[in-house]
């Protein structure tokens, strides 16, 4: 294994290199740091680099590798989305509000991945408070898509997606409230998994919408996603909504065949909203799966379009109150010389939050206010149940559902930032999955005009294993996931 090939290798490949002492964790970490140093100024995927602590962690990993007490992720570098609280390392949610916030605690996901031996390289850029689909609302500036620096990487976990795509790291964490892992994974040509709601603890993840948020892996391969999910999953006493269910061996089931597996194709996911070129790629991908023995079944998800309206009530409503704690009193941005308590609140919040965040707080506040609760919030919660029931009915006829992850490939920077509603449409195929709490996987399905397109697979509750199995099978018989960008130029 040459140093040059290191940063585009999968974690699984790196892990075997570390075990055979072909490479050391310190060399690997240094290689990642070097690539980040060189390429990040153009991409802006990483907003905090922890060079010193990463090398220290890598040394500790090398020790464990030598002792023979290493696990499959020992010594593998990783970047955390800046929504995960990291002890003594700035955690900003890409907001001016938290620009100076340094939590004295780790998120459960962070501590579990730390315990698994990963090396934390730093933190990745995102849309402010995860509210966006383009990583353009960050106070640290936009992240660019490594496939075309004039395009967005998607969002909100755009920094993580871009970092993995650009070879900064084999592993990134993301969070997905309405598509924030899957859509950027699609736009950057990587593998992104949103687990079932409750599979991964939310403790220490800065909340956007509590009943929708879920953290998951962003990787080069499904195999890596399985490894990483294994380390992230499991009940957490500190998160009441984390599920007390046994975590299956995700890697163990990867190689099982998919013959006889029924794949549901929702016609609503191939509507006029979908870019025809994307539709073609998805159909080609499905053909591959059919060749492997899967069977395609037509299904209906009738409330797909209303999912957007439902989501844009529930998510802002929950967010509006989750973000009430940012009041300039205990942490976060505080305005200069407040004249009164109201002045302190209003100025700190208006200065600290960006436009999109404020817009969602307003909508959410409105949806919950007296006189509107029934017509907005309660109504949305009722439609949410209908959406969930649509999926349940569909799963009576199929084992996984397949479709696009996003309506089109990456779009140019600024193309949608003046039109929030157009931006909201980016998540039309992903947010219903959050509303229903189901697992969803996006895997590279090829390029459209040189830009990646993702195939989305949706599974039954807590059945990530099937998604991973199908995804892995697809990656065994295709090489879309091996495509990598030449930074700023055409693909190879």
Residue 277 buriedness (CB in 10 A; 0-12 / 13-18 / 19+):
middle
User: Any catalytic annotation for residue 38?
Assistant: no
Q: Which residues have CB under 8 Å from 476's CB, separation 6+?
A: none
Q: Which residues have CB under 8 Å from 193's CB, separation 6+?
A: 181, 216, 217, 218, 225, 229, 439, 440, 441, 442, 464, 467, 468
- DSSP states of 389-440: HHHHHHTTT-SEEEEESSSSS--BTTSSTT-HHHHHGGGTTTHHHHHHT--E
Shortest Å, Cβ 109 to another protein: 10
User: Any catalytic annotation for residue 156?
Assistant: yes
Give me the count of residues in the chain.
492
Shortest Å, Cβ 341 to another protein: 5
84-209-345 Cα angle (round to 5): 85
Q: Residue 286 or residue 314: which is nearer to another protein going by CB?
A: 314
Q: Residue 363 or residue 443: which is nearer to another protein going by CB?
A: 363
Catalytic entry in 10, 24, 81, 348 = 81
Instruction: Provide φ and ψ at 443, rounded to 5°.
Output: -130, 150
Distances (CA, A) of 82 to 43, 61, 171, 173, 225: 16, 23, 14, 9, 19
Shortest Å, Cβ 318 to another protein: 6
* Distance from C-alpha of 366 to C-alpha of 372, rounded to nearest angstrom: 7
Shortest Å, Cβ 245 to another protein: 10
> Where does residue 115 fall: left (phi above 0), alpha (psi -120 to 50 degrees), or beta otherwise?
alpha
* Distance from C-alpha of 92 to C-alpha of 139, rounded to nearest angstrom: 9
Catalytic entry in 10, 15, 156, 251 = 156
Q: Residue 338 or residue 488: which is nearer to another protein going by CB?
A: 338
Instruction: Provide φ and ψ at 297, rounded to 5°.
Output: -130, 135
For residue 128, how far is the Cα from the chain centroid?
14
Q: Residue 291 or residue 330: which is nearer to another protein going by CB?
A: 330
> Where does residue 107 fall: left (phi above 0), alpha (psi -120 to 50 degrees), or beta otherwise?
beta
Q: Are 107 and 204 in contact (CB under 8 A)?
A: yes
User: Any catalytic annotation for residue 180?
Assistant: yes
Shortest Å, Cβ 371 to another protein: 4
Catalytic entry in 10, 180, 186, 201 = 180
Shortest Å, Cβ 459 to another protein: 13
- DSSP states of 267-331: GGGGSTTS-HHHHHHHHHHHHHHHHTT-EEEEE--TTHHHHHHHHHHHHHHHHHHHGGG-SSSSS
Q: Residue 56 or residue 388: which is nearer to another protein going by CB?
A: 388
Q: Residue 8 or residue 345: which is nearer to another protein going by CB?
A: 345
Shortest Å, Cβ 106 to another protein: 10
* Distance from C-alpha of 133 to C-alpha of 241, rounded to nearest angstrom: 25
Q: Residue 25 or residue 423: which is nearer to another protein going by CB?
A: 423
Q: Residue 168 or residue 353: which is nearer to another protein going by CB?
A: 353
Shortest Å, Cβ 82 to another protein: 11
| Catalytic sites, residue numbers | 81, 156, 180
């Amino acid at each position: 294994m040459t140093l040059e090939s290191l940063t585009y290798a999968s974690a699984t490949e790196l892990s075997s290199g570390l075990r055979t002492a072909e490479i050391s964790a310190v060399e690997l970490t240094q290689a990642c740091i070097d690539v980040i140093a060189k390429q990040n100024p153009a991409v802006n995927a990483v907003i905090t680099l922890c060079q010193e602590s990463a090398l220290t962690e890598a040394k500790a990993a090398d020790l464990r590798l030598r002792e023979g007490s290493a696990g499959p992720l020992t010594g593998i570098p990783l970047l955390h989305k800046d929504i995960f609280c990291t002890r003594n390392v700035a955690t900003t949610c890409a907001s001016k509000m938290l620009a100076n916030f340094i939590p004295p605690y780790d998120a459960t996901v962070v501590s579990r991945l730390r315990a698994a031996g990963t090396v934390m390289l730093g933190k990745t850029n995102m849309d402010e408070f995860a509210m966006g689909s383009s990583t353009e609302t960050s106070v640290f500036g936009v992240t660019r898509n490594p496939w075309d620096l004039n395009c967005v990487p998607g969002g909100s976990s755009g920094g993580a997606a871009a970092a993995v795509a650009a070879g900064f790291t084999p592993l990134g964490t993301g969070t997905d409230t309405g598509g924030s892992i899957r859509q950027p994974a699609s736009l950057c040509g990587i593998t992104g998994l949103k687990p079932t709601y409750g599979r991964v603890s939310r403790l220490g993840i800065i909340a956007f919408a509590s009943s929708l948020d879920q953290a998951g892996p962003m990787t080069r391969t499904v195999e890596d996603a399985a490894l990483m999910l294994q380390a992230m999953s499991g009940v957490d006493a500190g998160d009441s909504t984390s599920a007390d269910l046994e975590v299956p061996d995700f890697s163990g089931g990867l190689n099982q065949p998919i013959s006889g597996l029924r794949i549901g194709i929702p016609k609503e996911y191939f509507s006029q909203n979908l870019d025809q070129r994307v539709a073609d790629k998805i159909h080609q991908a499905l053909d591959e799966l059919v060749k492997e023995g899967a069977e395609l079944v037509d299904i209906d998800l009738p409330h797909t379009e209303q999912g957007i309206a439902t989501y844009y009530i529930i998510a802002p409503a929950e967010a509006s109150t989750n973000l009430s704690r940012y009041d300039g009193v205990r942490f976060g941005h505080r305005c200069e010389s407040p004249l009164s308590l109201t002045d302190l609140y209003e100025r700190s919040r208006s200065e600290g939050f960006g436009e999109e965040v404020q817009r969602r707080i307003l909508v959410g506040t409105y949806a919950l206010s007296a006189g509107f609760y029934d017509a907005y919030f309660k109504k949305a919660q009722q439609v949410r149940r209908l959406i969930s029931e649509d999926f349940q009915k569909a799963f009576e006829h199929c084992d996984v559902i397949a479709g696009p992850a996003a309506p089109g490939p990456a779009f140019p920077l600024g193309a949608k930032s003046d039109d929030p509603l157009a931006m909201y449409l980016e998540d039309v195929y992903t947010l219903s999955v959050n509303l229903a709490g189901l697992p969803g996987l996006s895997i590279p399905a090829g390029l459209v005009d040189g830009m990646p397109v993702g195939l989305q697979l949706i599974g039954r509750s807590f059945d990530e294993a099937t998604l991973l199995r199908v995804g892995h099978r697809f990656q065994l018989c295709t090489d879309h996931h091996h495509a990598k960008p030449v930074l700023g130029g055409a693909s190879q």
